Amino acid sequence: MSELEMVKNKVRREHYLNEAKDLLASARRSEWFAHQDIQEMRKIVNTAGISFSELGTTEEELADLERESCRVIARSFLNRSKEKPEDVDESFGMVKDYLKKGGLTMEDISDRGFNIRALRRILVLARKQPSGAAEYVKAIKYGLEKHQLNLADIGTDDEEIGHLLATATGPR
């Protein structure tokens, strides 16, 4: 391979890497488009031979982002079916499609399931960001009370909540 070809390949790979990083950033920002962004990113990764670690992600994160995107879209179509009964057949078809794509069930897009997932996401943030853990715990407690849930529903217990508060460096 000539030096010129090697430079071309390097430039091409760098372009693909930047494009894949942009799609990943977009998927992290927008649940609505994450499914599409990740599909496109996977094509680029396969074409260019880029690893997920080069992008700063894992297969697990991508699967979670895709699942959450499918959940949000399916829930949106479910709400649409309630608001526009004339579109119920089309809406439920889309609900079924996105449930299948995300490996989800109707329970996953119910109000209870939605609230549990939202509180679990806040819990993950509390675990990752000790400086803000006190505020996150406050939000979790409020959400649990408001939606009549308990700590076990979101995968934690009083011991962990106590530990999060004890290690919090932010305002309590």
Q: Evaluate whether residue 25 is within a structural domain.
A: no
Question: What's the domain range around 146?
Answer: 110-172
- State residue 170's pLDDT score: 55
Q: Which amino acid is at 65?
A: L
Neighbours of 66 (CB within 10 A): 21
> What is the DSSP secondary-structure string of 30-99?
-HHHHHHHHHHHHHHHHHHT--HHHHT--HHHHHHHHHHHHHHHHHHHHHHHHH-GGGHHHHHHHHHHHH
% helix, strand, coil for the chain, step of 5: 85, 0, 15
Q: Evaluate whether residue 23 is within a structural domain.
A: no
Which segments of the chain have a pLDDT < 50? 172
Distant-in-sequence contacts of 49-56, Cβ < 8 A, 24+ apart: 49/13, 50/13, 50/16, 50/17, 50/20, 54/17, 55/17, 55/20, 55/21, 55/24, 56/21, 56/24
Distance CA 67, CA 69 (A): 5
Q: Evaluate whether residue 51 is within a structural domain.
A: no
Number of independent structural domains in the chain: 1
Residues composing the chain = 172
For 168, the 3-state DSSP assignment is coil
- State residue 82's pLDDT score: 73
pTM of the entire structure?
0.62
Contacts of 37 (CB under 8 A, 6+ apart): 23, 24, 26, 27, 30
- State residue 27's pLDDT score: 92
Q: Evaluate whether residue 168 is within a structural domain.
A: yes
Q: Evaluate whether residue 12 is within a structural domain.
A: no
- State residue 23's pLDDT score: 95
Q: Evaluate whether residue 143 is within a structural domain.
A: yes
The 10s digit of each residue's pLDDT in 69-115 is: 998 999 888 888 778 777 778 888 898 999 999 999 887 887 787 78
